[in-house]
Structure 1
Amino acid sequence: MIEFRYDTQLLIEGTNLDEDAINEYFTNNFKGDCLLAVGDDELIKIHFHTNEPWKVLEYCASLGEIYDIVVEDMDRQSRGLKG
């Protein structure tokens, strides 16, 4: 069984984005793994495995415009189903 079910990926477009602050917020506030939050002060790419992707989306939307959102169910994928 997969501990963190949903592979959550998105882009955040905004101003004064801080990848270190975003990484710290994820680490302190969300349960999950495989965090990737990289970019610059105008565009950040997020990749994160979690059981609560809606919380990730809500937080990221508070930072700027979010788009290219992908939430895949890795449990379904591991069973050979469409994720």
Structure 2
Amino acid sequence: MGVIDPYLTEHGVLNGLIIATEDFPGWDSFGALVRHTKFVRQHHEKLSRVALVTDSAIGDLAEKLASHFVAAEVRHFPYPGLADAQSWVAQNTTD
């Protein structure tokens, strides 16, 4: 939030976000889950794409479920596919 909110204030939208973690670590506490959920709710309409770069099975699940809850297009990439995720996020969303 410390980086994204100021960027959105200046630019209004963010073409994409990359979440890269080899294994999905989960949340440290219920409070952390609540903060994450609040962040997603407040920002999802300002993002065009979200790339999940992980070998965790949560990546496939998140890609399938996300279309029901967020405005952004969500795509799962295997952990070694960070460069592919970066290219996808950098593309114009009309491509």
TM-score bracket for the superposition, by shorter chain length: 0.3 to 0.5
Structure having the higher strand fraction is 1
What TM-score comes out, normalization by structure 2 length?
0.30
What TM-score comes out, normalization by structure 1 length?
0.33
Structure having the higher helix fraction is 2
